[in-house]
Structure 1
Amino acid sequence: MPGTTPSSVNDWWCEYSSEYGFVGFSYEVTACQSLSTLKTDFLNIRHTFNGRYIRMYGFCDNAGDNDIVEAAWGAGIGVHALIWFGFDGGDEWMGRRDELLGILHSNPKAQFVTRALQFGSEPLFDNVLSPPALAAQVTEAKANLSSLDIPVTISEMAYGYQERESDGAKDVLDAIELVDGHMLPFFSTDASTGSNSWPLVLTDLDWFVANGQGKKIYLTENGWPSVTSDGVQPNSKSAVASVSSEQEYYQVLDEHCSYFKTVPGGGVGWFWHIYSDDMEPGYGLYDTNGKLKFPFSPKTSC
């Protein structure tokens, strides 16, 4: 990073077409990690795994967004920021929205680390707002951030859009500026092992390509669990949750780097969901003891 913030974001970001293959990790912030922890983890993502970004997951209502900006700037890493709706139907998200938008305008480093702003994690599937209301939120945020050149989207499964199609989900597809899609094939009724996941990935990815209007695609909440838990149960009797299956899933993605490079809209960049099992049991690259489950050297270009 430069010693001082530039005067504008013109020519600051790489072209979308260079952002395919592995781009970073989802990183849950609900623990309200200290600034020093954020810096350590972000530097590790950047230098150990060549990650470009972290994608925020969860929430920290304790002024955590400024710390994320500071840690990202120090690590030379970008952020897919997130307005978290939660699962209880409350209106706390409004305060989170207003605080984050305020920080993006007031913190001079924020626009230079914020690659995108996401509304929610599966807000259509969770029915937190009607599709027209969600599209209106996206549109208002786009206007708010137009001077900062920060694109706005939602983070959602293909099924979430499909489920709400008759309610106006296309309004959301029209409003978003890029596609942050979820890819969780473990939950497919046809799931078996990570090594057999590519047809399932391609089914949802084909839907995003066909309906994404040529917009850039990232796979943000994207992974395969190494264990099941109360909130992680398969819909297929053949689905295997194991460390080996988790490793196989990411190997499958890595093996299709050349395909991801050619997808219209600038290729497909994928995140690992999630950085550590301390954040979401079974989904981390690091286990609860802070140890790598297996070696990971993903392709960031091909």
Structure 2
Amino acid sequence: MPSTVPDSLDGWWCDSSTEYAFVGFSYEVTACQSRSTLNSEFKDIRETFDGRYVRLYGACDRTGFYDDVIDAAWNNGLGVHALIWFGFEGGSEWKDRRDNLIDTLWNNPKAKFVTRAVQFGSEPLYDYVLDPSDLAGNIWEFKWNIEDLGIPVTISELAYGYQVRGGAQIVLDSIDVLDAHILPYFSQTASTGDAAWKDVNNDLNWFIDHAAGRKIWFSQNGWPSTHYSGVEPNSPDAVADVDNEERYYKLLESKCEFFKSVAGGGVGWFWHIYADWQEPGYGLYAESGKTKFDFKPRTEC
């Protein structure tokens, strides 16, 4: 990062065509990590794994938390895919999160140089937190509020989330990039991590068909190392263990050239999630603090 904050975003971000293959980690923030923890773990993402970005997941409502995220990202040369979190219980807390994020994006001088995109919800269609027309209207309003900051806005969503809402074209028309949830473990035909490509490709093809040339990210993307209550597979053949978590990672690695070729700048994928203490089973790091397997992802091919 430069020693002072630039005056303009001109030439700041790399061309999206260079942002394919592995780009970083989903990072759960419900623990409201301290500034020192954010700095330490963001440094690890950048230096150990060559990550470019962190994609926030969950919510921390502590005052100033996103300022801490911005500082940690700036200090470590990372960008952030921010998130307005609706949660699973209903309620209107998301409105305060939206408004607080707008304030931070305008008032923190580093914010627009760190915030690569804002996700207006994680699976808001699948969870039906708002009617698609209401969701689209809120997205447009949010975009108007940050229009001069040059930050793309999207939702982070399953292909099925769009499909079950009739395609939700009104939402597709409101977003700038497509953040795709790719979770083949939950397919009705799931078996092992290395056999997941058919399901991954089916969902990816849906996003390609509806992207209209826009950038696609695999924002929530992974395979769990263990079953856990409340998040059960839909196939009796789905195998959740460390070996299959690694097999899925290697499957993604084997498709680097294909991801590079996708229109809109290729497909950049996040690993969901940084550590098991953030979300059990999905982390690269086990509860022991050690990585479950050798993870040296390709960032180019």
Q: TM-score, normalised by structure 1?
A: 0.98
Amino acid at match of 2:86: F
- Cα offsets for 1:219-265 (capped at 9, x unmatched): 00100000011122110011000000000001000110000000011
Displacement of 1:204: 0.2
Q: Equivalent residue for 2:9?
A: 9
4+ residue segments displaced more than 6 Å: none
Letter of the structure 2 residue corresponding to residue 155 of structure 1: S
> Matched residue pairs, number?
300
Q: Which residue of 1 aligns with 2:114?
A: 113
Aligned pairs (5 A) from 1:1-302: 1-63=1-63, 64-165=65-166, 169-302=168-301
In structure 2, C-alpha distance between the alignment counterparts of 1:287 and 1:238, rounded to whole Å: 24
- Deviation track 1:24-46 (CA, whole Å, cap 9, x = no partner) reads 00000100000000000001000
Structure 1 residue 165, shift from structure 2 partner: 1.2
Following the alignment from structure 2 to structure 1, what is the Cα–Cα distance between the partners of residues 223 and 184? 7
Cα distance in structure 2, aligned partners of 1:213 and 1:136: 20
Separation in 1, partners of 2:166, 2:70: 35
Shift of 1:137: 1.3
Q: Deviations over 1:172-197 (max 9, x none)?
A: 00110000010000000010000101
**Structure 2: gaps spanning 5 or more residues:** none
* CA distance, structure 1, for counterparts of residue 255 and residue 49 of structure 2: 18
> What secondary structure is seen at the aligned counterpart in 2 of 1:175?
coil
- 1:214 shift after superposition: 1.2
Structure 1 CA distance for aligned equivalents of residues 138 and 55 of structure 2: 20
Q: Deviation per CA, 1:35-64, whole angstroms, max 9, x where unpaired?
A: 000000001000100000000000000021
Report the alpha carbon displacement of residue 276 of structure 1 after superposing the two structures with TM: 0.3
Aligned residue for 1:286, secondary structure, equals: coil
Taking the aligned partners of 1:28 and 1:42, their CA distance within structure 2 comes to: 12
Structure 2 letter corresponding to 1:98: D
How far apart, CA to CA, are the structure 2 residues paired with 1:10 and 1:238? 50
* Structure 2 counterpart SS, 1:17: helix
Structure 2: distance between partners of 1:2 and 1:138: 32
Q: Give CA-to-partner distance per residue, 1:98-123, whole Å, 9 cap, x none.
A: 00111000000000000000011100
What SS does the corresponding residue of 1:261 show, helix, strand or coil? helix
1:99 partner amino acid: N
**TM-score of the superposed pair, with normalisation by structure 2:** 0.99
Q: Which amino acid aligns with 1:195?
A: D
CA distance in 2: counterparts of 1:19 and 1:143, whole angstroms: 26
Gaps (5+ residues) in structure 1? none
For residue 173 of structure 2, give the secondary structure of its aligned residue in structure 1: helix
Q: How far apart, in 2, do the equivalents of 1:104 and 1:238 lie? A: 45
1:110 and 1:247 map into 2 onto residues whose CA distance is 34
Cα deviation 1:254-282 (Å, max 9, x = unaligned):
11000000001110000000000001100
Find the aligned partners of 1:61 and 1:90 in 2 and give their Cα distance: 14
For residues 230 and 5 of structure 2, what CA distance do their matches in structure 1 show?
42
Question: Which whole-Å CA distance do the structure 2 matches of 1:6 and 1:158 have between them?
Answer: 38
* SS of aligned partner of 1:165: coil
Superposition deviation, residue 86 in structure 1: 0.5
